[in-house]
Amino acid sequence: MITLCLIVAVAAFACFALATDPHHRKRIGGPCPKPRVKALRAAAWGLLGIGFVLAMLAWGPVFGAIGWAGAIMAGAAATFLFLNFGPAWKIGPH
Amino acid sequence: MSKSFRQSQATLHTWSGLLVGWVLFIVFVSGTTAYWREALNRWAQPELPRVEDPARVVRGSQAFLAKKAPDAKTWFITAPSDRSAAGSVFWVPAKGGGRGHGRRDTSATIDAEGQPVTARATRGGDFFYRFHFDLFYMPVIWARWIVSICAMFMLVAILSGIVTHKKIFRDFFTFRGGKGQRSWLDGHNAVAVLGLPFHLMITYTGLVTLMAMLMPWAVVANYAKPGAFFDLTFPQAPPAERADRPAPLVDIASLWRDGARRLGTPVDFIAVTNPGDAAARVTMSASNRAMLSSYTPSITYDGVTGKVIWASPPSGGAQVTAGAMIGLHAGRFGDYPMRWLYFLCGIGGSLMVASGLVLWTVKRREKLPDPERPHFGFHLVERLNVGVVGGYPLAIAGFLWANRLLPVGLADRANAEVNTMFALWGAVLLFAFVRKPVRAWAELLGLTGALLVALPVFDMIATPKGLPATIAAGDWVLAAADLTLLALGLCFGWAANRVRRHRPYVRRARDAERVAMTV
């Protein structure tokens, strides 16, 4: 459950990152189109919400919120490290 | 208007961060290390067997105390968890008995088998916990004031930093490497923003832990008697007069289990007053391993019949709030994943302070009239950065080595470890003032890395708790300690290598590039 919560947090921040022009250009190609920005951001918030539920299930109602805060920090950090220091994977055709 | 406000916040951020930055770095690193306090305690005494059945240690403690101090006024038993190195007992002798004796003569360590044991004297992980707010070589009250004032500066630095670097949220995922000041700024922003909830939480709750010292007026104004507030905060069963009629003491281990069941959390701490007397009392205090609030309830039993005679009243809202904040700060409730999150956040905070300190010099170096002969202030900051940011991790590695290498029979050994650490650190500070900073950085980081990597190797050769043994036994606490030291050592080595290969960034190149792009 905790692992799942962390994975979801990483995915959420990956969506946030891809919704920005520099990272969209680097990973998919071209600036991120407006509708896609909206979709990615919505997905990211949705994933953060799912992460919260998972954290509650994993740690219980008292510690769940703390665990969730920790998990999203870890997710953001992992995304940051991957995007800047990780391999230059590309998703798009470009 | 808004620009000048941001300017003022930038100045505030720079100076509130710089002035106390070195103390903050020490506090952050020590606090981060202290999240592994219990693991380090175990690591520091590899000769002790692993505690697998805490009840056995509690039984052993009672048997030992009954033999060693049957007529003591009070016994204190610290029950281990399966994370602790061992149990410990401490007793207050009957009147007169304690005169001329040190604490050493009235305390003992009880190992996993329930037997009294002498292990190497060390402060282990407890040292970092204490050093985090009590510092060393000074009265604790001074230390706590120093740390608190620094923490207040920290709070100011964080809040003004958010205003100053307001782009941090937009450039959330950006890191532009190899670009001198820009890279340092990106790095500083990244560790600050990624851990921002933690940094704010830890600084604020850190101040809350010392609030009664920082703002005593509420207590003074509301409680006439000095002890009244204490009694309310830490309620206790009414004291029992000694009956002077001998009576057998109940089995503490079964009360210990019963206490855990009634309190709903494990019991860490057992106090027995008047053992062996008809008026014996046994008090069980709940552990904060399983609850957020650090004000944990307790329950008192009659020491002969084993009946519950008192239980702490439920805490009020204010107390639960304060307790929860302190609990949130210390993270003792955390299971291992949670603890790792805390630890990583702590590393992020340490890096934030360190990169901020370095950034101060990077930003000003380009503007120096003569970089070879900087003015006194720049010189001082640059050298202190080397001596503290480069020196303290090295000193910690030295402390861990002192734990392994100092002879077991050395007098006052626990303090000798600490003194070794500070002596090494002092030498590093002197070194930082004579050696060229770029060289000193590479050498200190490299040496720290080498010392850390060598520790697990030494453990494999010289102790029975080397990596292969601990992994084979499934003892993941000790294995993870060694693996973490190894990983940290590699990180320091990597950083040393980066500094060694560092060529100063030339601003002109970027300007030329920009010109080329616009043409």
B111 and B134: one domain?
no
pTM to 2 decimal places: 0.91
Say whether both B417 and B368 belong to one domain: yes
**To 5 degrees, how large is the angle CA A76–CA A81–CA A85?**
160
Quickly list DSSP for B59-110. Answer: HHHHHHHHHH-TT-SEEEEE---TTSS-EEEEEE-STTTTTT--GGGGEEEE
CA-closest candidate to residue B427, choices B415, B439, B435: B435
Specify if B230 maps to a domain.
no
Per-residue pLDDT reduced to its tens digit, B189-210: 999 999 999 999 999 999 999 9
What distance in Å separates the CA atoms of residue B153 and residue B155, rounded to the nearest whole number?
5
pLDDT at site B225: 80
Convert the pLDDT of each residue in B465-514 to its tens digit.
Answer: 999 999 999 999 999 999 999 999 999 999 999 999 887 766 555 554 55
Tell me which residues of chain B, numbers 315 to 374, contact chain A at a CB-CB cutoff of 8 Å.
Answer: 328, 333-335, 337-338, 341-342, 344-345, 348
- B160 and B277 belong to one structural domain: no
Partners of A27 in beta bridges: none
Name the CA dihedral angle for A6, A7, A8, A11, rounded to a multiple of 10 degrees. Answer: 120
Helices (H), B386-436: 391-405, 413-434
Mean pLDDT, rounded, for B360-381? 87
User: Scanning every residue of chain A, which has its alpha carbon at the shortest distance from the alpha carbon of B327?
Assistant: A63
User: What local confidence, expressed as pLDDT, does residue A92 receive?
Assistant: 63
Average pLDDT of B341-364? 94
- The radius of gyration of chain B's CA atoms, rounded to the nearest angstrom, is 26
The complex's ipTM works out to 0.91
Q: What is the pLDDT of residue B445?
A: 97
pLDDT of residue B357: 95
CB nearest A69 (choices: B177, B197, B334): B197
Residues B19 and B149 in one domain: yes
Residue-level pLDDT at B519: 37
Mean pLDDT on B335-362? 94
Residue B39 covered by a domain: yes
The tally of domains found in chain B comes to 2
Q: Is the pLDDT of residue B516 over 70?
A: no
Judge: A73–B341 Cβ closer than 8 Å, yes or no.
yes
Q: Chain-wide mean pLDDT for chain B?
A: 89
Please say if the pLDDT value at position B87 is more than 80. Answer: yes
Range(s) of the domain holding residue B351: 2-45+126-211+334-507
Residue A92 lies in a domain: no
pLDDT digits (tens, 9 = 90+) for B167-188: 777 777 888 887 888 889 889 9
Whether the Cβ atoms of residue B89 and residue B68 lie closer than 8 Å to each other = no
Could you tell me which residue, B124 or B235, shows the higher pLDDT?
Answer: B124
- pLDDT for residue B179: 82
User: Looking at residue B113, what DSSP letter applies?
Assistant: T
Residues in chain B: 519
B177 in reach of chain A (CB within 8 A):
yes
Percent of chain B surpassing pLDDT 70: 95
A23 vs B: CB within 8 A: yes
| Inter-chain residue contact A16 with B173, CB threshold 8 Å | yes
What pLDDT does B515 receive?
45
Domain assignment present for A10: yes
Where among B259, B278, B312 does a domain terminate?
B312
Given a cut of 70, whether residue B322 has pLDDT beyond it is yes
Same domain? B423 vs B453: yes
Shared domain check, B138 and B110 = no
Quick: pLDDT tens for B243-270: 889 999 999 999 999 999 999 899 999 9
Residue of chain B whose alpha carbon sits nearest to that of A84: B175
pLDDT value of residue B288: 84
Q: Within this chain, do residues B412 and B454 fall inside the same structural domain, yes or no? A: yes
Q: Flag whether A91 is in a domain.
A: no
Using CA atoms, how far apart are residues B333 and B292, in angstroms rounded to an integer?
6
Check if B457 contacts A (Cβ < 8 Å). no
Q: Which residue has the tokens 């401490």?
A: B90
Do B302 and B424 belong together in one domain? no
The total domain count for chain A is: 1
- Could you tell me the sign of the dihedral formed by the alpha carbons of B281, B67, B81, B344, in that order? positive
